[in-house]
Amino acid sequence: MHWIHLTEDEQIKQIIARSQDKPQVIFKHSTRCSISSVALSRLQKADQPSDIDFYFLDLIAYRHLSNKVAEVFHVHHESPQVLVVRNGECVYDESHMGISMDEIMEQAKAA
């Protein structure tokens, strides 16, 4: 799995801009949560579609970015959490054991 590490505020603007051309996925991971580790493992074992960018946000190290993501995309903070961004907006978010690559792909492809 190829992750783009989300470590700077400016990257949120890039995600919004890039989402005009192809879906962007943000995975918010807590290194202190066993459920987050399970969700991460499930994503890493799945086939990654080449037409979607996947961002990895360590919300312990970058809590301010996690808060910014919640604010910008109008979602309630969860951990772990996945967001699908298309056309500048979060069109899907899921948390905990609801996170699955199949659902991410379905939501990313939805019109």
pLDDT in tens, 44-62: 999 888 899 999 999 999 9
- For residue 78, the enclosing domain spans 4-109
Average pLDDT, the chain: 95
pLDDT > 90 in the chain, percent:
90
Q: Do the Cβ atoms of 40 and 51 come closer than 8 Å?
A: no
What CATH number does residue 45 fall under? 3.40.30.10
pLDDT > 70 in the chain, percent:
99
As for how many domains the chain has, the answer is: 1
